[in-house]
Structure 1
Amino acid sequence: MTASQTASKILSSAKLPDFARMLPSEAVFASARKSGFLKCNRTEATTVLSEIWKTTQGNSALLHQQQQAAPVANICAAHNFPPSNFTSLALLLQQTPLQTDLLAIAELLNDPPAILKSAKSKISSSRSIQLLESSQIFKKLVWLANVGKVPEAYELLAETYQAANSHKAQDYWTKAAEAGSGKACLVMGRQAVAMKKTDVAVAAFKQAMELGEAEAFYELGVLQIKQSNNSEKVESELAKEGEYNLSVAAASGIIRAAVKLAEIYKTRNDLNLSEQWVNVAYEMKAVEM
């Protein structure tokens, strides 16, 4: 076995680890730096990790104690080493058998992606919302949402409370939408449809579309087709707009949008176009499989 396969966690080693051997290759570092994913080289990473190991003296449990944040942050500041580097390194090393404490360092230093990743893991394994709310990582998630105004943090909180059937979910969906979450706008649009608040739904779906949510094109398209069917003109501008939105959704890989278009043209006895969309749906399913 190689050193990376036998090591458990980098910073829990009883003696100073050989970080130069454990870290990704120079080529991986170069590629990650070129893409902007990583903002350090191997030498810088090795130096910073070595100093952090010395502050914990091989006791990785210290990394979960908030009082360690200041000395670790000072080390990073002295070397111009952004906390996001720890998250990036942890993600790179996930592709190897080596487990690391790097995500714990990033979480300690309040790196948003690290908090989100750790929170998702904690939430997925928790069966009690009360215990979850008392956990340090959940408190950090709330901090990330309320102070950092991070849309993904609001989304995760909304989904968590929604799964627990808590009234808090709606508040977080609203805040997520205000913070620029397309997913939240989509959810709120669907809620408005269920409550038959068409104007509210249309506005929410359009906002979600602007924020890049392909599902919103489908939802708005279906709503517009339904509205046009209640009008005297089947070929109304609303119907055309609905078909366009459904076609955008289908082009984005949403199979049921293609199925819906096939149904629409079949009801109009346009069997040629109906068959074309049926074929598109089958092809999309084949690709998905």
Structure 2
Amino acid sequence: MTIPRAAVSSAYRILGGSSKLPDFTRVLPPDAVFASAQKSGFLKCNRVEATTVLSAIWKTTQQSIQGNNVLQQQQQAASVEKICAAHNFAPSNFTSLALILQQTPATTNTTTLTTDLLTLAELLNDPPAILRSAKSKISTTRSLPLLESTLIWKKLIHLANTSNVPEAHELIAETYQNAKSIQKAQEYWTKAAEAGSGKACLVMARQAIVLGKRDVAVQAFERAKELGEAEAYYELGVLQMKDGNGDMAKEAEHNLSVAAASGVIRAAVRLAEVYKSRNDLVMSEQWEEVANEMKAD
């Protein structure tokens, strides 16, 4: 794998800010945390393996810290990959460790190590690390042309187009939509939906409603439901309520109930209104209470 040059230049102060080997026994989480994360599948290394790899990376960084030309930077990056390969250490472990450190109380400041771990993960093209970095950079960059020229945007596009990661398509689509680049936004919302994004299906269903394409919207809402989008239950329930009585009304009520149970306040409010229109004041008051409790939370 070829390491992007710009990523290397920003990454190769990793673990190299001190001439003394960091005390990973103090800054890494305790064994119990590692064991729990391994058992859940979130982490694929133990504390000893993490310490060994990070120590090796620190030593490699120290040995070549004086070098700053492109060739030396590429050699440094290749060394990290070699270390990870030698220890069968997945790049995703860097991201997982960073997230664990952010959530684990520690007696030593772990902010620097957390940043270094995420930088290492991004350097080695771990998808979650790329997504996190891209979200951060996008939130601080106002110019779309400037953003499109950055390395992290190119890595995000690469991740979307080659690995078909739904979240990458979503982030690109949202960015283009916020920039009023509607055609590009639509392109990536479509790709996200095809990749299995419930959020994208929800967005496309709402767009279909605006365009008056009800059948298309219903299909998209149904797909969004299958992909776990609670808002899709609400939207579909509202559409079905407009269609009349009978079985459709029962299905609409079911969809609204699922949405409300999933935390969609508007669904609880709508159910209160539905029961009030039927003069079922007991059920109406119950759903009003549910809606008020949800608002309070």
Instruction: Note the alpha carbon deviations across 1:103-130, whole angstroms, 9 max, x for none.
Output: 1111111111111111111111111111
**Is 1:92 matched up with 2:130?**
no
Instruction: Note the alpha carbon deviations across 1:139-193, whole angstroms, 9 max, x for none.
Output: 1111110001000000111111111111211110000000000000011111111
> Displacement of 1:25 after TM fit?
1.3
> Pairwise mapping of residues 29-48 of structure 1 onto structure 2 (< 5 A)?
29-48=34-53
Between the aligned partners of 1:243 and 1:40, the Cα distance in structure 2 is 47
2:265·2:294 contact (CA, 8 Å) conserved in 1?
A: yes
**Is 1:26 matched up with 2:42?**
no
Instruction: Note the alpha carbon deviations across 1:36-83, whole angstroms, 9 max, x for none.
Output: 111111111111111112222285998x96664432111111101011
Question: Which range moved further: 66-75 or 134-143?
Answer: 66-75
TM-score normalized by the length of structure 2: 0.86
Percent identity between matched residues is 71
1:12·1:60 contact (CA, 8 Å) conserved in 2?
A: no
Between the aligned partners of 2:243 and 2:62, the Cα distance in structure 1 is 67
2:15·2:61 contact (CA, 8 Å) conserved in 1?
A: no
In structure 2, runs of 5+ residues without a counterpart are 1-12
2:15·2:57 contact (CA, 8 Å) conserved in 1?
A: no
> Displacement of 1:18 after TM fit?
2.0
**Is 1:243 matched up with 2:253?**
yes
In structure 1, runs of 5+ residues without a counterpart are 1-7, 229-234
> Hey, what does 2:222 align to over in structure 1?
206
> Hey, what does 2:205 align to over in structure 1?
189
1:265·1:274 contact (CA, 8 Å) conserved in 2?
A: yes
> Hey, what does 1:113 align to over in structure 2?
128
Indicate how the Cα distance of structure 1 residues 90 and 218 shifts in structure 2: closer, same or farther if over 3 A, else same: same
Indicate how the Cα distance of structure 1 residues 271 and 39 shifts in structure 2: closer, same or farther if over 3 A, else same: same
> Pairwise mapping of residues 225-236 of structure 1 onto structure 2 (< 5 A)?
225-228=241-244, 235-236=245-246
Indicate how the Cα distance of structure 1 residues 244 and 60 shifts in structure 2: closer, same or farther if over 3 A, else same: farther
Question: Which range moved further: 124-133 or 11-20?
Answer: 11-20
**Is 1:283 matched up with 2:293?**
yes
Report the residue type matching 1:187 in the other structure. V
TM-score normalized by the length of structure 1: 0.89
Give the alignment's Cα RMSD to 1 decimal: 2.1
Indicate how the Cα distance of structure 1 residues 121 and 224 shifts in structure 2: closer, same or farther if over 3 A, else same: same
2:202·2:232 contact (CA, 8 Å) conserved in 1?
A: yes
Between the aligned partners of 1:248 and 1:103, the Cα distance in structure 2 is 37
Indicate how the Cα distance of structure 1 residues 41 and 142 shifts in structure 2: closer, same or farther if over 3 A, else same: same
Between the aligned partners of 1:60 and 1:12, the Cα distance in structure 2 is 12
Between the aligned partners of 2:237 and 2:150, the Cα distance in structure 1 is 42
> Hey, what does 1:51 align to over in structure 2?
56
Matched position secondary structure for 1:15: coil
> Hey, what does 1:159 align to over in structure 2?
174
1:11·1:60 contact (CA, 8 Å) conserved in 2?
A: no
Structure having greater relative contact order (Cα 8 Å, sep ≥ 6): 2
Between the aligned partners of 1:115 and 1:66, the Cα distance in structure 2 is 19
> Hey, what does 1:274 align to over in structure 2?
284
Between the aligned partners of 1:119 and 1:200, the Cα distance in structure 2 is 32
> Hey, what does 1:175 align to over in structure 2?
191
Aligned length: 273
> Displacement of 1:269 after TM fit?
2.5
Indicate how the Cα distance of structure 1 residues 61 and 259 shifts in structure 2: closer, same or farther if over 3 A, else same: farther
